[in-house]
């Protein structure tokens, strides 16, 4: 079964404009990026929490995501 956060991550990953915008936001303000991810989820009727997003991202095997998480952990 695919969780809401997995669905949302997939949609964002496939939208280069959203993905790039979120990544740049995360570099400057990781908390705002998490809030934006949750907001995108609400807009798409895919409800997720910030905690769910962080937990899921920790499982993703992607170098850019791992760099973002390091930054996010320092800023949260």
Q: What's the pLDDT tens digit per position in 23-57?
A: 888 888 888 988 999 999 999 999 999 999 888 88
Report pTM. 0.81
Residue whose pair of structure tokens reads 């390091």 in the numeric block: 70
Domain ranges of the chain: 21-75
d(CA 47, CA 28) in angstroms, rounded, equals 24
Are 68 and 37 a contacting pair, CB within 8 Å?
no
Is 61 a residue whose pLDDT tops 70?
A: yes
If you compute the radius of gyration of the chain from its CA atoms, what whole number of angstroms results?
Answer: 11
């Amino acid at each position: 079964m695919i969780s809401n956060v997995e669905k949302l991550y997939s949609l964002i990953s496939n939208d280069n404009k959203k993905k790039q915008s979120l990544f740049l936001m995360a570099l400057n303000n990781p908390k705002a990026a998490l809030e934006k991810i949750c907001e995108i989820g609400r807009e798409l009727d895919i409800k997720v929490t910030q905690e769910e997003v962080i937990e899921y991202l920790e499982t993703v095997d992607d170098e850019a995501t791992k760099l973002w998480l390091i930054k996010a952990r320092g800023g949260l």
